[in-house]
Amino acid sequence: MKKKIQLSAAICLALSLAVPAHAQWGRLLERGQEILDQQTNGSGNSQTTQEPAAATQVPAGVSDRQLSMGLKEALSVGAERAIDTLSQTNGYLGDNRVRIQPPGMLAGAVGTLKRFGFESQVEAFELSMNRAAEQAISQATPVVVNAIESMTLEDAQRIYQGGDTAATEYFKSRTFDDLTVLLRPQIEKSMAQTGTTAAWQALTSAATSSVPMLAGYTPDLADHVTESALNGLFVLLAEEEQRIRRDPVARSTDLLKQVFGL
């Protein structure tokens, strides 16, 4: 009985800390979208929380058409690398930057649950979510290709002279909803194959006797895995964009070298 009381108290504390953290992350995402909207709409508001990155100057002799083609190629190369990486075994699970964690308030209680004997159930649940994402993420390719092809010259000019991840931010703002609609059915199918729902039920069944509040916690697992998988994709895509802008070695084609410099 004493162990159960200690476990319940510890879980309550962890969950109370997890909710504000989740809310703060949501506010950060909203702030990031506000900044992106200001850039996209040409807002004249110059007050930001961070100094803007210095504008990238278009190399001499590069035409608008070449600039547009270069950015499209940069996005294509970056997206191909990111999707290929994530679709491999442990593409999500083995990378702490994109690893899919348990949903909502449960994320803050994982460490406590493991310490009190539920490690195998937690790990099985995490494994099933990440495997589902790894199996499904390659389905994002058609939407990615369509969004790249639809980029205008005006978009390209603004993005090229933006920050190190301006293209990724532009791309995310225009594809995230479509990717969610496309990917969710694939995620659900993969979750059935990897046993995500069964793993969740095993975890909650084991822990509910000690933490009764878990009995009423029913997150939408497909939404959680889909959103987390897409956020991971854009994390890696942003890193690929930064590499192409900063690292000559990452400019793997002649056009990228011409547009972004040797």
pLDDT bracket for residue 26 (50, 70, 90): very low
Instruction: Judge whether residue 79 has pLDDT over 50.
Output: yes
Q: How confident is the model at residue 33 (pLDDT cuts 50, 70, 90)?
A: very low
Cα–Cα distance measured from residue 133 to residue 43, given in angstroms and rounded to the nearest whole number: 36
Tokens of 208: 């509910």
- What CA–CA distance (Å, rounded) separates 91 from 87? 6
Q: Please tell me the distance from the alpha carbon of residue 245 to that of residue 261, in angstroms, as a whole number.
A: 9
CB-based burial, 227-242: b 16+ in 10 Å, e otherwise: bbbbebbbbbbbbbbb
Tell whether the model's pLDDT for residue 5 goes beyond 80. no
pLDDT tens digits, 165-189 = 888 898 899 899 999 999 999 999 9
pLDDT at position 225 is 97
CA angle 32, 83, 41 (to 5 degrees): 30
As a whole number of angstroms, the distance between CA 67 and CA 61 comes to 10
Q: Which of 32, 27, 93 is nearest to 232 (CA)?
A: 93
pLDDT in tens, 106-130: 888 888 888 889 999 999 999 999 9
Residue 18: pLDDT band (50, 70, 90) is very low
For residue range 191-226, list pLDDT tens digits in order: 999 999 999 999 988 888 777 777 788 899 999 999
Can you give the pLDDT at residue 132? 97
Work out the angle between the directed axes of helices 141-149 and 166-194 (0-180°, nearest 10).
Answer: 160
Q: Which two tokens stand for residue 229?
A: 């998988």
| Cα–Cα distance for residue pair 120/124, rounded to 1 Å | 6
Dist CA 1 CA 121 (whole Å): 22
pLDDT tops 50 at residue 54: no
Query: Mean of the pLDDT values across residues 140-161?
Result: 84
Radius of gyration of the chain (CA): 21
In this model, does residue 248 exceed pLDDT 60?
no
CB 215 within 8 A of CB 208: yes
Q: Where are the domains of the chain?
A: 2-35+65-260
Q: What is the DSSP string of 82-133?
A: HHHHHTSTTTTTT-TTTPPPPPGGGGGGHHHHIIIIIHHHHHHHHHHHHHHH
Per-residue confidence band for 24, with pLDDT thresholds at 50, 70 and 90? very low
Q: H or E segment at 3? A: helix 2-40
- For residue 83, name the pLDDT band (cuts at 50, 70, 90): very high
pTM: 0.74
Q: Locate tokens 């969710």: which residue?
A: 184
